[in-house]
Amino acid sequence: MPPNHPGRRDNYDTVSESGPVPGTLDAMRWLWTPAWIARHVAMVVLVVGFLGLGWWQISRAAAGNTLSWGYAVEWPIFAGFVVYVWWREVRLARRNAAAATGQPADPTEQPADASPATGESRPAVRRPVRVARVPAASEAVEDTDLAAYNHYLSWLNANPGARPGDYPG
């Protein structure tokens, strides 16, 4: 993908349709690496196999095996789960590729949007991000009252069910 392509960058969720060359599947080329083809094939094989097993169970159930009605319901659910997992992996890889500006995390994948101004292609509201907060150094606290209060608060945090009257310090 040329980095300065004047394509429709505002289409974040329809990145597959706003490729570098409109009207082609260039933006989905990263889904056509050998590893991804293997995943697509595995997904299709599993879904077809599971649906076939479900159909087999329907025939068994029709032949009089009551328990097979349950299995006939289970196999399509498994097939749907396979599709769901496949779709989640595709979405995850696309998000990772979009997050890595310029350099994709996986060398087999091309980033979905390699332009440096990826901030424009993002929606204004993003998913919340968990950040590991580094505990502040305790020697930075000069105020002894503040230190005592912090100690009290960390004790409360460490003992969620405790009442303030139980504070030993």
Partner 1 sequence: MGAALTRYRVIAWIVGVVLILLVVIGMPLKYGFDNPVVVETIGPAHGFLYMIYLVAAFDLSRRADWPLKRMLLVMLAGTVPFVSFYAERRVTGWLARPADRTPEPVAG
User: Structure tokens of 150?
Assistant: 């912090």
Contact segment (CB under 8 A) with partner 1 among 14-22, 44-52, 118-126, 132-140 equals 132-140
Residue 138 lies near partner 1 (rule: CB under 8 A): yes
Q: Is 147 in the site for partner 1 (CB under 8 A)?
A: yes
Please give the span between the terminal C-alpha atoms of the chain, in angstroms, as a whole number: 62
Residue 154 binds partner 1, judged by CB under 8 A: yes
Residue 96 contacts partner 1 per CB under 8 A:
no
Residue for token digits 């930075």? 140
CB of 137 to partner 1, least distance (A): 8
CB distance 9 to 22 below 8 Å: no
Largest separation between any pair of C-alpha atoms in the chain:
81
Can you point out the beta strands (E) in the chain?
none
User: Which stretches of the chain bind partner 1, using CB under 8 A?
Assistant: 67, 70, 74, 81, 85, 88-89, 133, 135-138, 140-141, 146-147, 150, 153-155, 157-158
